[in-house]
A = this chain, B = another copy of it.
């Protein structure tokens, strides 16, 4: 029997997906409060009132997006596939994969910033509750099988990993919009990843 995800979407599910996709595009461009339900309706190709058959409010659309569309669903399989021999190989390819993926599909980073900027992180708990149980085991396994890691705490490793990826992407947004773009070295990403892997300091310990 087919997996749940493979069942062909009903008409209602398709409309719901249209609304979510329209909302993502508009939230990315203008943020949450500057996006109107009328804009979402127009982009999703239905009348304003039609949205309310699928979501009871604008905020409900946002919340649905932030828990359903988390990129771990695409990123984790790629990371697990790459693996690599040493912890260095593994983390280098994992950071590269995550950065590349979030760079080519930047919508979720933007949604996270909107979540913090406009909602004070009100939906973060719900998102983490769904996502952390999927991600944490990857880092738990990494710690068990690789002895070369500085910390044995999977939460800290996960946090440092996600934080590093976010910091790279955010600083890149600011830099590419500024004069620093022209004086930044070409291999910034490589150097930046090396800093994450080995620290800013050359010395050991």
| CB pair A163 B170 closer than 8 Å | yes
| CB pair A149 B198 closer than 8 Å | no
Instruction: List chain B residues, Cβ under 8 A from A185.
Output: 153, 155-156
A155 CB, nearest partner CB in chain B, Å: 5
Kindly identify, within residues 169 to 205 of chain A, every residue whose CB is under 8 Å from any CB belonging to chain B. 170-171, 173-175, 177-180, 183-185, 188, 191-192, 194-205
* A45: interface (CB < 8 Å): no
Q: What is the chain B residue whose CB lies nearest that of A204?
A: B204
A116 CB, nearest partner CB in chain B, Å: 5
User: Which of A8-16, A29-37, A47-55, A97-105 lies at the interface with chain B?
Assistant: A29-37
| CB pair A200 B91 closer than 8 Å | yes
| CB pair B184 A149 closer than 8 Å | no
A82 CB, nearest partner CB in chain B, Å: 17
Instruction: List chain B residues, Cβ under 8 A from A32.
Output: 31, 33
Given the contacts A160-B192, A200-B150, A121 and B173 also touching, CB distance less than 8 Å? yes
Instruction: List chain B residues, Cβ under 8 A from A197.
Output: 199-201
| CB pair A178 B128 closer than 8 Å | yes
